[in-house]
């Protein structure tokens, strides 16, 4: 039924758009519709003695997830929100809850996270630190789960009480990294692949030319997962008062434990049903046994309260927090990519903005285009000459992600951040065999031997491979020079630790590739200190999150702002009626689609 309503809403809005245009209401009327639909009441309220509920199935991202306009419109009408929240919102919300006398406790709900979230390990490390701060304020944290995975346990191990359902189970068996190889399939399909690369650890091309891991690739992956697993054992062990050797023995001997066994091993505190957990939380909030549940507010809802309150605090001194999340590509890129041209322009604007006193570049990228990386890095270097530029590395800041970071004033990373991968490669496919087997052939006329060097209808000649290899070598040498200069390291040492190899944040710090182990808040605090702002500053995030109205305005008119006070009062009244009608439609959720209701909306004007 919900899906039917969402489709009905979308169809209705599409018809209304057409009607507005037909009636000559134009863009103003259209925008008013969006404002009317998207508007909400006065906002959520926080009751005294409430429990903050943190659903661990939520996906925690760096930047605010940007949906398409149609998706945003559906969300606005249906009231459903994407199951995601930004890291900074989580950190700010937990800190606000720590200081809020109305918040009695924190409840981590892992019962809906069976499929697991896409949240990365470095992000979880920052959230875990915030949970430790919350608990240090003498506010209890209770964690309940049904199928307990390692990500959830990494967070939940910091809590006062871990409760597992009697029919539940816990996975605790270590990490594995599995790589798929396409060489055999490509050969059967008749697709040829030639590669040019620098760096014996630059293994991104191996799936296309090998059928198993190379010794070098196996070495670097083993070291990386050892570091991440070791960091988990150390932190979990400290919280659970168990040494890493005990935890490793459990992982090697049992792997997956039923609830009772997990309790006997000391991995969880209690085996109980959900209703028993609810009864315990009722006691904390002062609810009676007859009450349906305990007094609560979700993390996402409380985040809106925090965000609303924080808008009252402002400063003329801005610290720009710029998110570089996703693949680095040439040009503008999509909302899930770091477009070289678009991102460089953003940094340039911040450099010229006198209100921006420092820039924090949050990098969560595996890299991509070397050209785009250099375009971005140039703007970073120019900006650093005028104001502090601090880098905070997220789950991954490798290759191009490291390229754009290396000239900053200081680099922060988490112990389990994947970084480094200072190397370059090129992948050159050809379809000659596949095409020939299916009766397709080519012929060509050209004015020079290399005129068709970019063709995919044949393999590259030795001369052409040498040209590509030369470009790769030159790019690699540029990369080495930049790292050596920016990090003040001898080039031979950089060449030794480069080779396309990835490192954990712990190893990267020891090697001099990063400066400090720390999270996003640490980087922001350092930026404020470097800019000598004391406590007179506020963070402004980029790219700025656009509302539904703004997105539609931009797509239709090219304008980026629209004031509600520009709307005629008569239209405001009409669209208020429309909003009321949509609310009635949304309420039609009978499972049989059968209603006993007034056949029209009764209204006297």
Token couple for 23:
């009636």
Token couple for 482:
């930049």
CA distance 195 to 468: 9
Which listed residue (157, 203, 392, 399) is catalytic?
399
Q: Are 326 and 365 in contact (CB under 8 A)?
A: yes
CA distance 244 to 229: 10
CA distance 91 to 61: 12
CA distance 456 to 429: 6
| DSSP assignment string, 386-422 | TS-EEEEEEEEEETHHHHTTTTSSEEEE-TT-EEE--
If you search the block for the tokens 């930004």, which residue do you land on?
86
What's the number of CA atoms in the CB half-sphere (13 Å) around residue 105? 20
CA distance 575 to 545: 25
Q: Are 38 and 32 in contact (CB under 8 A)?
A: no
Output phi, psi for 445, to 5 deg.
-120, 130
State yes or no: is 6 an active-site residue. Answer: no
Q: C-alpha distances in angstroms, 233 versus 418, 441, 517?
A: 18, 58, 18
CA distance 477 to 479: 5
State yes or no: is 399 an active-site residue. Answer: yes
Beta strands at 356-365 and 337-339: parallel, antiparallel or unpaired = unpaired
Element (DSSP H or E) covering residue 427: strand 424-430
Element (DSSP H or E) covering residue 539: strand 538-542
Which listed residue (139, 151, 202, 318) is catalytic?
202
CA distance 402 to 368: 11
Residues with catalytic function: 202, 399
């Amino acid at each position: 039924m919900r899906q039917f309503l969402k489709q009905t809403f979308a169809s209705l809005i599409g018809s209304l758009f057409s009607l507005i245009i037909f009636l000559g209401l134009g863009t103003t009327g259209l925008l008013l519709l969006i404002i009317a639909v998207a508007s909400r009441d006065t906002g959520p309220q926080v009751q005294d003695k409430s429990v903050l509920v943190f659903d661990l199935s939520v996906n925690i991202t760096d930047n605010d997830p940007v949906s398409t306009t149609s998706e945003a419109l559906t969300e606005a009408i249906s009231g459903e929100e994407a199951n995601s929240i930004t890291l900074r919102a989580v950190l700010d919300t937990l800190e606000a809850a720590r200081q809020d006398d109305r918040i009695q406790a924190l409840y981590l709900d892992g019962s809906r996270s069976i499929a697991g979230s896409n949240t990365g390990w470095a992000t979880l490390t920052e959230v875990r630190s915030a949970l430790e701060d919350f608990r240090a304020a003498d506010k209890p944290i209770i964690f309940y789960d049904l199928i307990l995975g390692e990500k959830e346990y990494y967070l939940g191990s910091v809590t006062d009480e871990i409760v597992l359902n009697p029919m539940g189970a816990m996975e605790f068996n270590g990490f594995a990294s599995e790589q798929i190889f396409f060489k055999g399939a490509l050969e059967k399909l008749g697709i040829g692949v030639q590669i040019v690369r620098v760096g014996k650890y630059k293994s991104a091309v191996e799936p296309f030319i090998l059928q198993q891991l190379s010794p070098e690739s196996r070495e670097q992956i083993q070291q990386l997962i050892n570091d991440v697993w070791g960091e988990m054992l150390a932190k979990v062990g400290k919280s659970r008062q168990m040494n890493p050797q005990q935890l490793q023995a459990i992982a090697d001997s049992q792997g997956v434990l039923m609830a009772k066994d997990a309790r006997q091993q000391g991995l969880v505190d209690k085996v109980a049903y959900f209703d028993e957990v609810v009864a315990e939380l009722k006691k904390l909030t002062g609810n009676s046994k007859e009450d349906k549940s305990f007094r609560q507010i979700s993390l996402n809802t409380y985040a809106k309260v925090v965000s609303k309150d924080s808008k009252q605090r402002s400063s003329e001194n801005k610290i720009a927090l710029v998110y570089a999340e996703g693949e680095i590509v040439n040009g503008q890129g999509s909302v899930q990519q770091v477009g070289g041209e678009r991102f460089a322009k953003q940094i340039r604007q911040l450099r010229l903005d006198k209100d921006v006193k420092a820039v924090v570049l949050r990098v969560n990228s595996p890299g991509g285009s070397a050209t785009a990386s250099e375009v971005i890095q140039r703007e970073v270097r120019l900006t650093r000459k005028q104001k502090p530029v601090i880098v905070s590395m997220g789950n991954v800041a490798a290759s191009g992600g490291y390229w754009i970071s290396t000239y900053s004033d200081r680099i922060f990373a988490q112990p389990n951040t994947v970084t480094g991968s200072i190397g370059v490669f090129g992948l050159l496919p050809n379809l000659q065999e596949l095409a020939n087997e299916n009766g397709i052939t080519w012929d060509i006329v050209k004015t020079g031997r290399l005129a068709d060097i970019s063709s995919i209808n044949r393999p590259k000649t030795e001369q052409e491979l040498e040209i590509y290899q030369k470009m790769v070598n030159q790019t690699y040498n540029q990369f080495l020079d930049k790292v050596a200069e920016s990090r003040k390291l001898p080039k031979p040492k950089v060449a030794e630790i480069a080779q396309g190899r990835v490192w954990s944040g712990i190893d990267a710090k020891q090697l001099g590739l990063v400066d400090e182990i720390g999270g996003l808040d640490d980087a922001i605090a350092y930026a404020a200190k470097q800019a000598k702002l004391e406590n007179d500053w506020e963070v402004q995030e980029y790219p700025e999150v656009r509302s539904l109205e703004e997105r539609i305005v931009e797509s239709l008119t090219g304008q980026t702002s629209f004031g509600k006070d520009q709307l005629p009062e008569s239209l405001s009244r009409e669209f208020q009626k429309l909003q009321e009608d949509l609310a009635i439609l949304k309420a039609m959720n009978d499972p049989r689609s059968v209603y006993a209701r007034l056949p029209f909306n009764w209204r006297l004007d």
